Every structure is written in C-alpha cells, then in structure tokens.
C-alpha cells in the first residue's frame, strides 16, 4: 500500500468538470457564445428533465482556514438583502433569455455559509426564483448548513420551501484540529442540528468529514467516526483535505505544513474510515462519498444514474446548470461560464443589466468525448469507447499511460473500455488524468492542484 501511495500521490484535478478550470480556453470564449450554448441546452432538456440552479452565498462570520471556497468574512448582516436582490436580478436576466418557463429539478445553496442568511431572507430568495419558474417532477433541493448557526427556524423555513437534503460541515471533533482550522463546533451543536432536521422532515442528512487535516491522528479520527455513528446521517462525505495555500485568499496558513499527516498516515486514515463506514452499513459511492442503502445517492449509483458537476455528486442529472451569485460556475454541457469573483464586480455587472460572466470555455468535440469518459469513471468506475469517435492514438496513449496501474492490479482493460477495480478506487483521479488531453497538451509549469491521495 505504501509503495502505491508513493507512486501515485501526485498533483491532480478533482474533476468536477472537464476541462478543468485552469485549462479553459478563455481566448475563444465570448459571453454571446455562452448565451447561445445555454439556450441550446435549455431547449434540448428543460421539457424532459428540467434545469439545476446553484446559488453561491459567500458570507461567513469567521474564516475556516482549511476552506478554499470563495467567501467574504463579515458580521454585518446588512449585506444580506442587497446580495439577494442582486441574485434575483441575475436570475431574471437568465429567465428573459429562455424560450419557455423553466422547470427546476435541483437547487443547491452553497457558500460561504448559506445559514449566515436569515430564514426570512432565504425564503425571499427561493420565492423570488419561483416567481419565474416551476418545480420539476422528482426535484431535489439541498443546502450546506453550519451546525453552529443553523436554527430550527432555518430548517422549518427551507423545509416549507421544498428542501429535503442538508449537508453539515463537521470536519473533525478533535478540539486541537478544530482550533487549527478555526472551526470550533461541539458535538452537541451537530447533534442538535441533525436531530432538528430529522424531526422537521428532512429525508437526507449528510455529514462532511475531512481526513488529512493538521494534527489529525488515527485515534482522533476513529473517535470522530464513532461520534458520527451515534447520529447516523444518511450520507457521509469523507473528503481528502486539499492543501492549496498558494491560491490567493485561501487562508490556509493557520498552521505549519509539518502539522499535516504524512501521505501514509493520510491514506491510513481513509482506509480505516472506509472500513468503519462499511461496518456501519454505509456503501461507498463514487469518490469520497458513503451512503445508506435507502439513500437516493446509493440508489442512483446502483442504477447508473449518478451524476457529477460543480455541485459535486448528484443523484439525478440535468443537462443545464445555472450558477447564480459571485464566482458561481454555470454548465450548459457544451460550455462553462464563471461569474466575477468579487462581490463588488459581480453586483456592478448585474446592476448594469449584464450577465456577470467574465471567463469560460466552449467545449470542442474532443472535449465532449473526453468529458463523457471522465464522468463515467468518476461516477461508475468504468467507461467504454465502443460508440464514440475517440482516436486510436488516444486509446493507445491511454493504454500505455495506464500499464503500471494494470500491473498493480488497480484497473483492467476490457473490449473497447476499462474498469477500475475496487483496489483502484482510491486512484480514480489518476486514471482520469490519462484522458485529460487539455492537461497533457498544456502541462503546467507550476503546481496548481492538490495531491490525488
């Protein structure tokens, strides 16, 4: 195991998109090109499956030093209404470009801290969205909640608006770890927030845990998982900490690199965690996720309908995802577009009556082929090129690049495709990298990704 970790622990993308953001071709991207592709995608898919909306709510009252998300730290809640008003203006700009009334299949509130916003203002936001839209059949509305400030009033208001899934950022219960990442939240707070969500009627409650944080030990991780067991969440996200302090504004210098677990210990934390989750009757889904048998994410994995995009794994798919709010990324399948990264620039463009898009990528035919393969691997741990136009030299290159993983019994090639074995699941990002033509053709000169393991 240690030899494999040393061999395959290299910087690599997490593949919530392909191409990944650092390799977008911004020179050929135009706002008009983005509009044409999302209109095409909307016309192709809205009637049958609806669309997804991701809303970025960037405000937090304090900085968690492990977090690489776009956030704005403030205790001034007067920012809530102006920001929500701007998001609703942005939504209306999109609505005016649609050919018919949108049907919304998924909404996800991310951040930042969505529960920074008051229940009343969250209701104003969602009601404003549905002033111009209908609810799609089989919809799933979800949010990220902070256990310290998610109140019963938050949960009831969102439940009444159709939300049934909530994800709580737990990370770790060890106080030393919590202090290092500036995220101190007692078990009692998580217990209260979890039980209140269950009492109100939320049907899928997820806890996010992270391995590889500063000062983590095997004993501490096992205690965190045992406490998690007491609350029996429907899903558990077990993320590898992405240490990327070179990214401006991340704030990951609240501890020293020497405080981080070694790659060997980090992998051991994952393996022991996985073993404990399996003993608790959780099933591994895709990469980093575990779910109980009755949860929709596990069922979607069994049915091969699991999907992955900038919101992470989803139990249902929509072709079009509209990102609203500062720094949000939209996905039309044929292209990506990202909003301005500062609240001021974002609000300026929207208040001028323009979409806030400032960069993006129009996918080529080759991009679309490779995107499908990477999505298949990330969701189903297998892919086939029998029915697409992947060139023979691409297949030969991929086979050559993956020969070591065949020899290490991590993957196997089948007729016109490949399968990632259970032993290879921890290395699925490495497999995807061999399909990543954009990265291979434009090898970065400096490190831009976290380690794969």
Q: What is the 3-state secondary structure (H, E, C) of 25-84?
A: CHHHCCHHHHHHHHHHHHHHHHHHHCEEEEEEECEECCCCCCCCCCCEECCCHHHHHHHH
Q: How far apart are CA 395 and CA 408, in angstroms?
A: 20
Other C-beta atoms lying within 10 Å of the C-beta of residue 349? 18
DSSP secondary structure code for residue 259 in this structure: G
Using CA atoms, how far residue 363 sits from 2, 19, 119, 318, in Å, is: 38, 8, 39, 17
Helical residues (DSSP H) of 62-183, grouped into ranges: 80-95, 119-129, 152-160, 175-180
Using the structure block, give the residue that is written with the tokens 């990214």: 247
Which residues carry a binding-site annotation for S-adenosyl-L-methionine? Answer: 54, 66-68, 111-113, 144, 171, 183, 208, 242, 329
Which residues carry a binding-site annotation for [4Fe-4S] cluster? Answer: 60, 64, 67
Which residues carry a binding-site annotation? Answer: 54, 60, 64, 66-68, 111-113, 144, 171, 183, 208, 242, 329
What residues contact residue 113 under an 8 Å CB cut-off, 6+ apart? 57, 59, 60, 61, 71, 144, 146, 149
DSSP secondary structure code for residue 265 in this structure: H
What residues contact residue 243 under an 8 Å CB cut-off, 6+ apart? 212, 252, 257, 260, 450, 451
Name which of 298, 312, 287, 293 is nearest 422 in CA terms. 287
């Amino acid at each position: 195991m240690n030899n494999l970790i040393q061999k395959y622990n290299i910087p690599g993308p997490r593949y919530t998109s392909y191409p990944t953001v650092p390799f977008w071709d911004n020179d050929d991207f135009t706002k008009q090109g983005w509009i044409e592709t999302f209109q095409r995608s909307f016309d192709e898919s809205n009637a049958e499956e609806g669309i997804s909306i991701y809303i970025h709510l960037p405000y937090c009252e304090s900085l968690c030093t492990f977090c690489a998300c776009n956030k704005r730290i403030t205790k001034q809640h007067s920012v809530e209404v102006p920001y929500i008003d701007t998001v609703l203006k942005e939504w209306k700009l999109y609505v005016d470009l649609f050919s018919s009334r949108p049907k919304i299949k998924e909404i996800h509130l991310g951040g930042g801290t969505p529960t920074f916003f008051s229940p009343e203002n969250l209701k104003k936001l969602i009601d404003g969205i549905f002033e111009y839209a209908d609810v799609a059949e089989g919809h799933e509305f979800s949010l990220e909640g902070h256990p310290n400030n998610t109140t019963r009033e938050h949960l009831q208001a969102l439940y009444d608006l159709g939300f049934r899934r909530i994800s709580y950022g737990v990370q770790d219960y060890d106080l030393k770890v919590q202090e290092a990442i500036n995220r101190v939240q007692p078990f009692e707070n998580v217990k209260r927030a979890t039980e209140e969500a269950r009492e109100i009627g939320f049907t899928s409650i997820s806890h996010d845990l992270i391995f590889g944080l500063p000062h983590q030990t095997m004993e501490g991780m096992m205690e965190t998982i045992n406490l998690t067991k007491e609350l029996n969440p429907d899903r558990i996200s077990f993320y590898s900490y992405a240490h990327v302090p070179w990214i401006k504004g991340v704030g990951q210098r609240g501890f020293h690199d020497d405080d981080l677990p070694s790659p060997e210990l980090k992998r051991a934390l994952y393996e022991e965690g996985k073993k404990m989750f399996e003993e608790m009757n959780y099933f591994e889904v895709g990469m980093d996720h575990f779910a109980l048998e009755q949860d929709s994410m596990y069922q979607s994995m069994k049915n091969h309908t699991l999907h992955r995009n900038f919101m992470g794994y989803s139990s249902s798919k929509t072709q079009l995802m509209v990102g609203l709010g500062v720094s949000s990324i939209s996905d039309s399948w044929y292209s990506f577009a990202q909003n301005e990264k500062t609240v001021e620039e974002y609000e300026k463009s929207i208040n001028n009556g323009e979409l806030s898009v400032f960069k993006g990528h129009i996918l080529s035919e080759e991009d679309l082929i490779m995107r499908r393969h990477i999505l298949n691997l990330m969701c189903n741990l297998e892919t086939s090129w029998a029915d697409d136009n992947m060139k023979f030299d691409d297949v030969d290159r991929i086979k050559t690049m993956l020969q070591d993983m065949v020899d290490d019994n991590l993957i196997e090639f089948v007729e016109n495709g490949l399968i990632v074995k259970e032993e290879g699941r921890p290395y699925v990002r490495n497999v995807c990298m061999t399909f990543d033509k954009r990265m291979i053709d434009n090898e970065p000169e400096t490190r831009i990704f976290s380690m794969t393991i």
